[in-house]
Amino acid sequence: MTATETQLQTDPETQTTTASPPVTDWPRQLAELQTRYPKVREPILAALHVLTENREVSLDEAKAQAAALGVRITAASVAAADRLLERQSPPATDPTPAPEAPAAPKATANEPRRGRARRSPRAAPPALDIEELVRATVDKIQSQNNAEAERLREAMRQAVAVLQAAVDR
CB-based burial label for 65 (10 Å; 0-12, 13-18, 19+): buried
Name which of 32-46, 78-92, 114-128 the model is least confident about. Answer: 114-128
Give domain status of residue 57, yes or no: yes
How many whole angstroms separate alpha carbon 81 and alpha carbon 49?
8
- 23's CB contacts (< 8 A; 6+ apart) are 68, 69, 70
Q: Residue 6: name the closest of 49, 58, 36, 45 by CA.
A: 49
Tell me, what's the pLDDT at 127? 74
Beta strands in 27-110, from DSSP E residues, in sequence order: none
Mean pLDDT of the chain: 77
Q: What percent of the chain has pLDDT over 70?
A: 67
Choose one of 88, 114, 141: the last residue of a domain.
Answer: 88
Give domain status of residue 76, yes or no: yes
Give domain status of residue 101, yes or no: no
Give domain status of residue 123, yes or no: no
Shared domain for 11 and 78, answered yes or no, is yes
> What's the DSSP call for residue 23?
G
How many whole angstroms separate alpha carbon 43 and alpha carbon 27?
13
Choose one of 34, 66, 88: the last residue of a domain.
Answer: 88
What residue type is 32 in one-letter code? E
Shared domain for 20 and 74, answered yes or no, is yes
Give domain status of residue 122, yes or no: no
Shared domain for 70 and 133, answered yes or no, is no
pLDDT tens string 3-24 = 334 444 444 554 444 444 444 6
Domain count, the chain: 2
Give domain status of residue 24, yes or no: yes
What is the pTM (predicted TM-score) of this model? 0.41
- Domain of 62? 7-88
Tell me, what's the pLDDT at 6? 42
Confirm if 66 and 46 have CB atoms less than 8 A apart. Answer: yes
pLDDT tens string 141-154 = 999 999 999 999 99
> What's the DSSP call for residue 45?
H
Q: Backbone phi, then psi, for 95, in 5-degree steps?
A: -65, -20
Give domain status of residue 121, yes or no: no
pLDDT above 80 for 36: yes
Give domain status of residue 141, yes or no: yes
pLDDT above 50 for 90: yes
Estimate to the nearest angstrom the gap between the alpha carbon of 151 and the chain centroid: 44
Q: What is the CA radius of gyration of the chain?
A: 34
Tell me, what's the pLDDT at 56? 86
pLDDT above 70 for 97: no
Choose one of 62, 88, 114: the last residue of a domain.
Answer: 88
Estimate to the nearest angstrom the gap between the alpha carbon of 134 and the chain centroid: 39
Report in angstroms the alpha-carbon separations of 46 from 109, 113, 140, 155: 49, 45, 55, 61
Shared domain for 29 and 82, answered yes or no, is yes
